[in-house]
Structure 1
Amino acid sequence: MSSFLSGRTIMVTGATSGIGYETARLLAECGATVLLHGRTPEEARAAVKRLIATADVDAELLRPCAADFGHLEEVERLANRVITGHPYLDVLVNNAAVAAPQRHTITPDGNELTFQVNFLAHYLLTNLLEPALTNGTGGRVVNVSSSMHRTASITWNDPNRTRRYAPLAAYAQSQLALTVFAADPRVTAVSVNPGVCETTLRPLYGHEGATPSEGAAHVVRLCDPAVEIVNGAYYDRGEWMEPAVGATEERTVKRLNKLADLLVGHSA
């Protein structure tokens, strides 16, 4: 078992399956203390048990945590627990994602489900964890995005797409927002497209994909403090590339932050 991440604490959202689970496994195998986020405490604990039973990991390095990203109050409670238990957080991997439902769905918070789970919840969580991420040196955020962000546009006047809803467009919008958010100057962050992998989201892409472990390796590489990153950079698997046109423009970042602050009920 490699130990090049020994002593580092990393949180992975959506870590109970797919790329998130494999990211947590690889990080723990490299010696990191990993906070495995799941939608429910039961799902998070089950993922930890599965890792202990099947992977070369130290059980003491695995910490289950839970919040349903469809409820922003749960995100706030999760952030408070993390801050209390881990005042120094080296990396936050914003990975949790859902495919947009066929029918337009609004969360109890009043937001379109995909936009909230895939972006707004991560926006809120990242901002609330900012004290822990900036408490030491080298703290960073890795947003797991998608090549679909290039096909998207953010409907600024109707982000919940109440007037014109299409599942693929809603999903792509959430991925573009997550990619733009990586350019926020408050924390050092990058976004990465891990490639099409055999996960629950794979049918969105219409063709076969790589294994979740192969996708996770691209995420884990960006968690390594030895890998220098530039704030707002976008990686397509292991290669640095320009994101969608305008995605890193200061004007766009500020506009998105203003919108997100309004929708999550917080001020930056």
Structure 2
Amino acid sequence: MSSAVSPASRTVLVTGATSGIGWETARLLAERGDTVIVHAPGQASGDDAVARLVAAGVDTLRLRLVVADFSRLDEVRVMAARVAEEHPALDVLVNNAAVAAPERHTVTADGNEISFQVNFLAAYLLTHELSGPLSARPGSRVVNVSSSMHRTASISWNDPQRAKRYSRLAAYAQSQLALTIFTREQAPWTSVSVHPGVCDTGLLSLYAHEGDSALQGAQRVVRLCDPATALVPGAYYDCTALSPAAPVAMEDRTVRRLCKLADQLVAAKSA
């Protein structure tokens, strides 16, 4: 991957950018000369993340901070409106924010299982709310940071909130499968999903006892953000390799069914 700064500064939004792969992704992109919108779930964690980026050598003029708790869809909408107002053209959206599903079944104020909402529904809503800025310039990209665990998953269509039979691994895997399926929705921009590798982040315990560094995972994400990297629209990448997604994620009817379900769930509390 080239370390050269892009010819023209782009504007990139990275969700879940306060730690791990998201923070490293924000750092690498800002170092390349991009304006990076750093998303944080709260003001304090956001201020801390920006301070650490500046301490790491990032030009503070390259950074913008936005705050939204993805367990509250109304905050996602407010954040999206602010981003759209301040950045009428958005070149890249990195949907990286994710949480591990908790041991006990947990439902958000919007009525959704928390990992399904934070890991998928919030990304779905944010992407749609930012359709204007993402469509403003040619060549825009959406990079969904997914997981190889999507291959073990199924969408519980009759009980997407998994209220009847809850398993934290099944819930988390479902959220990653949903994000991978969503990548194939038709849009004016190019969307891809990527498994950045098993990395030493807050989600490591779901996978293994040790993994690659967050920086290595971020490098794989940033590669897909680079306009010099040719992308296959709707494709799934395992680290740096183009890889077949789970068969169900390749079904057009499943893409339509999931997007219909997501529309219903994100609209449920929007009135």
TM-score, normalised with respect to structure 1: 0.97
Residue by residue over 1:126-167, the C-alpha shift from the partner in whole angstroms, topping out at 9 and shown as x without a partner, is 000011101110011000000000000000110000100000
Q: 2:237 aligns with which of 235, 244, 250?
A: 235
Q: Tell me the distance in 2 between the aligned counterparts of 1:34 and 1:6.
A: 14
Number of residues of Structure 1 aligned to a counterpart in Structure 2 = 266
Q: Tell me the distance in 1 between the aligned counterparts of 2:210 and 2:66.
A: 31
- Following superposition of structure 1 onto structure 2, how do residues 122-201 of structure 1 map, counting pairs within 5 Å? 122-186=123-187, 187-201=189-203
- Please state how far the C-alpha of 1:106 moved relative to its aligned partner: 0.5
The one-letter code sitting in structure 1 at the alignment partner of 2:12 is: I
Report the secondary structure of 1:142's partner residue: strand
- Please state how far the C-alpha of 1:246 moved relative to its aligned partner: 2.3
Q: Tell me the distance in 2 between the aligned counterparts of 1:204 and 1:78.
A: 29
Residue by residue over 1:40-98, the C-alpha shift from the partner in whole angstroms, topping out at 9 and shown as x without a partner, is 1221121111110123x211001111100000000000000000000000000000000
Q: Is the 8 A contact 1:2 1:29 kept in 2?
A: no
- 1:90 corresponds to which residue? 91
Q: Tell me the distance in 2 between the aligned counterparts of 1:243 and 1:50.
A: 35
Which consecutive residues of structure 2, in runs of 5 or more, have no partner in the other structure? none
The one-letter code sitting in structure 1 at the alignment partner of 2:184 is: A
Q: Is the 8 A contact 1:5 1:27 kept in 2?
A: no
When structure 1 is superposed on structure 2, of 215-224 and 38-47 the one drifting more is 38-47
Q: Is the 8 A contact 2:194 2:239 kept in 1?
A: yes
Distance 1:25 1:192, change over 3 A: same
Distance 1:5 1:39, change over 3 A: farther
Percent of aligned positions that are identical: 60
Report the secondary structure of 1:246's partner residue: helix
The one-letter code sitting in structure 1 at the alignment partner of 2:37 is: L
Which consecutive residues of structure 1, in runs of 5 or more, have no partner in the other structure? none
- Please state how far the C-alpha of 1:5 moved relative to its aligned partner: 6.2
For the aligned residues, what is the CA RMSD? Answer: 1.3
Q: Tell me the distance in 2 between the aligned counterparts of 1:54 and 1:188.
A: 31
Q: Tell me the distance in 2 between the aligned counterparts of 1:7 and 1:248.
A: 34
Residue by residue over 1:148-197, the C-alpha shift from the partner in whole angstroms, topping out at 9 and shown as x without a partner, is 00000000110000100000000000000000011011242000000000
Counterpart check, 1:249 vs 2:251: yes
Report the secondary structure of 1:231's partner residue: coil
Distance 1:167 1:107, change over 3 A: same
Q: Is the 8 A contact 1:140 1:188 kept in 2?
A: yes
- 1:60 corresponds to which residue? 61
Runs of 4+ in 1 over 3 A off after TM superposition: none
